[in-house]
Amino acid sequence: MVLVEQNSYPLREWHFEHMQKTIIKYVTGISENTATSFQKRLHKRYNGNLTYVCKNIGFDIKHGVTNDQVLAFIDKVKSDPVYANMKQNSDSKERLESLEKHFTPSALPPTYLQYLVH
């Protein structure tokens, strides 16, 4: 008899990549010089809004990404030389710190805590 293990999170890798892209897009921000007014408005409404970004990352946590992976990626962005251009901008540092503060276990609202138990 062969037991088949159920994959309760079939798109875990996709959600992990989506979480990474969301964090990078939020921390990087938008170029004030080259962006059109429409792009600036969309960025302000969606990608530049901490609540919207946390909601997207919370959705990824609900679908298999762990909070430890989120915090590990934030630490990677802080320390990895690949992301050095983000660390030069003071706004990027502030955004990264606000994201880290939001996803530390002591700062999580009770709705996120239920997704951390795996």
pLDDT tens digits for the chain (118 residues)? 555 555 677 788 999 999 999 999 999 888 878 888 898 888 888 888 899 999 999 999 998 899 999 999 999 999 988 888 877 788 888 999 999 999 888 755 656 555 555 4
The pLDDT assigned to 15 comes to: 93
Contact 43, 70 (CB under 8 A): no
Phi, psi for 100 (deg, rounded to 5):
-65, -40
Q: Where are the alpha helices (DSSP H) in 1-109?
A: 12-28, 37-42, 50-62, 67-79, 84-87, 90-103
Q: Which residues of 75-102 are buried (b: 16+ CB within 10 A; e: fewer)?
A: eebeeeeebeebbeeeebeebbeebbeb
How much is the CA Rg of the chain, to the nearest whole Å?
Answer: 16
Please state, in angstroms and rounded to a whole number, the distance separating the CA atoms of residues 86 and 83.
6
Q: Compute the half-sphere exposure of residue 101: CA atoms within 13 Å on the CB side of its CA.
A: 8
The Cα 96–Cα 57 span in angstroms is: 14
Whole-number pLDDT of residue 29:
85
Q: What's the predicted TM-score (pTM) here?
A: 0.78
